Amino acid sequence: MNTLLQIHEPGATPQPHEGDTTLAVGIDLGTTNSVVAISTGAQPEVLRDEDGTALVPSVVAYAPDGSAIVGGLARNLLLDRPESVVGSIKRLMGRGINSVKSLGGTLPFDIDSIGEDGAGMVRLNVAGHKMTPVEISGDILSALKERAEDHLGHAVDRSVITVPAYFDDAARTATKDAARLAGLEVLRLVNEPTAAALAYGLDKGSEGIYAVYDLGGGTFDVSILRMEKGVFQVLATGGDASLGGDDFDHAVAEHFLSERAERLGEKELTAGEVKVALMTARLAKECLSDASDGEWVLDIDGKQSSHALNRDTFDGIVKELVSRTLTIANHVMEDAGTNADDIKGVIMVGGSTRVPLVREKVGILFGKPPLVDINPDEVVAIGAALQAEALTVGSDTLLLDVTPLSLGIETMGGLVEKIIPRNTPIPVAKAQEFTTYQDGQTAMAIHVVQGEREMVESNRSLARFELRGIPPMTAGAAHIRVTFTVDADGLLTVAAAEDTTGIEQEVAVKPSYGLSEEEMADMLYDSMKHAKDDMAERLLAEARVEAGRTLNAINAALAADGELLNEDERTELVVVIDRLSLMIKGDDRDAIGHAAEALEDASRPFAEKRMDRGIRSALRGVGVEDLEDETPSG
């Protein structure tokens, strides 16, 4: 507990305890694979299993009793028990089912319900259980947490998790919720390309303007960053949250299935068979990154069909998808106010950048061969681990990120009024004033959307809420200020206030596709053996941090201005300080709270004396040291 009494420089973070239980892990929660890494002393390390494998396939198999198996083992079960296995769940994070592609009319997911009015969270049928994407992602995170704990030999409960830069608010919130289910506190959500740039930039000591081209399993991001003296400043970002290697697999599977239909006739596929077809297609794609041709067998419904594919045909199949990424990259360059000549290097991230056509086209677009000398599967997790260390131990590096999508609200006629444009540095807060349009209007509906289009229906609906209790006035007389705040995680809070009356409402945006607080609470209760303890533990930790802060502050004040107190006053105060120090060592959260409050009260007269002297010295324009002749009163 000694560290509580340390006084540190502004902005600096105290060193962690010995034994390092404060360590936070970096997690790349991917569509296809996930990776966990740690960093100590700026030495990042990717955590591997006994076989030296870092990649944990983001695939979960469920047993009839609901227990989960995550990773390679689950993926191997896919062919035998496809109805019990789920992959690519990231594509459903914070989204509706309409964003998932079907194959021959069948989805690779067995959908149980899509919520009321198509909103709300999707539920999947897996091995006879109804599961949300948040729970399934939570199980993947639990497995990664376990890997870290096995490796470190102690509990891990803090993390930095990466998300696609282009993830909207709903998907970010869903990711944070999944972490909560896994018992992981998220110190920060970091954008994947930014994490990759951090890892790459620190490793190579690069300075200048760089592009990160990140084509993962299910998401695509391009970011343009300026790297300078440890600052990683994102100039612009863009992408597509449903474009990735999965779509390549999908295109190849369609090709195989149409060949098969020609030979064996049309047949509707089950969800399980779709998973098998996609897996075969993925193998073909991966082989063709090195080989120039090959042959693959589809084994569905007891009938086998064999399919030959060469690199040229493959390139033709995925050409459209690759050119979509190039269009986006062009827009991002424009947004960043840069052209290809300004960009010193293009960092390639994500397993799908192994596709030779992708490397070739990116090279042409930026006019230079892309940088492929890093492991595209591990660099994001390494960046997350470095950021986790920076957040817990302190660091000289600084990540300055931006909003990927414009935020606005619906106005008359279904138009969007943009309040925070895309590529604005975060954190950011912007306010806009609105007024009533009818006499006596007492409520106002506010509809928050995210996206670049002019019409509401073309954008993503984030949340709707009503500001009530506006006093009846003539139309146009009320002044309603709506403030949007986006924090460093890219998460949005909206507050509305009526100026003349001071009526206020704050809405942490719980998006249309998200889980309600009650649903979250139920899940925490149901699925987590230690959910309750966990919550109590967290509240206790928070109380300790807050009380420690108070203790630090008063001790520092005593050290600086202690002469303002006479002997009795000082003794009185020290008694209260000692009591709080004692309470912090205990486990009674209420007792810590009361002792901290008592200290705040007891130190008030001391604070008043300090203020009094400060103001007097300011008025005279002299330093405090010149006022030493003033003896403390009382």
Partner 1 sequence: MEATLNDTRPDIVPCWSCGGPIDGSAFCDTCKAVQPPGQRDHFSRLGLNVSFDIDPATLDEVYFSMQRKLHPDRFATHSPKEKAYSQQQATAINDAYETLKDPHGRADYMVHLKGTDVLPEGCNLINDQVLLIESMEMREALAESETPADVDIISARATEDIRVCIAQLSKLFANNDIEGACKLTTRLKYLKKLAQEAQAHRAKLI
Nearer to partner 1, 318 or 380 (CB): 380
Nearest to 250 by CA among 70, 451, 102, 114: 102
CB of 430 to partner 1, least distance (A): 9
Encoding tokens for residue 283?
Answer: 């193998």
Spell out the residues 6+ positions from residue 443 whose beta carbon is closer than 8 angstroms to its own: 466, 467, 468, 469, 470
Nearest to 474 by CA among 509, 425, 430, 441: 441
DSSP tag of 490: S
Burial label, 297 (beta-carbon count in 10 A; 0-12, 13-18, 19+): exposed
CB of 578 to partner 1, least distance (A): 18
- Beta bridge partners, 111, equal 124
CB of 188 to partner 1, least distance (A): 6
Nearer to partner 1, 396 or 628 (CB): 396
Catalytic residues: 28, 90, 192, 214
CB of 473 to partner 1, least distance (A): 27
CB of 13 to partner 1, least distance (A): 6
- At 402, is the secondary structure helix, strand, or coil? strand
Q: Tell me if the bond preceding 427 is cis, omega within 30° of 0.
A: yes
CB of 105 to partner 1, least distance (A): 36
Nearer to partner 1, 188 or 275 (CB): 188
Nearest to 194 by CA among 208, 207, 212, 176: 212
The residues of the shown chain that bind partner 1, judged by CB under 8 A, are: 7-13, 22, 187-188, 228-229, 231, 233, 330, 334, 387, 390-392, 394, 396, 398-400, 424-429, 485, 487-488, 542, 545-546, 549-550, 552-554, 556-557, 560-561, 603-604, 606-608, 610-611, 613-615, 618-621
Nearer to partner 1, 6 or 474 (CB): 6
Nearer to partner 1, 73 or 618 (CB): 618
Q: Is the separation of the CB atoms in 607 and 557 below 8 Å?
A: yes
- Beta bridge partners, 300, equal 303
Nearer to partner 1, 464 or 613 (CB): 613
> How far is residue 568's CA from residue 551's CA, in Å, rounded to a whole number?
20
Q: How far is CA 547 from CA 5, 9, 597, 602, in A?
A: 11, 19, 9, 14
> How far is residue 539's CA from residue 590's CA, in Å, rounded to a whole number?
10
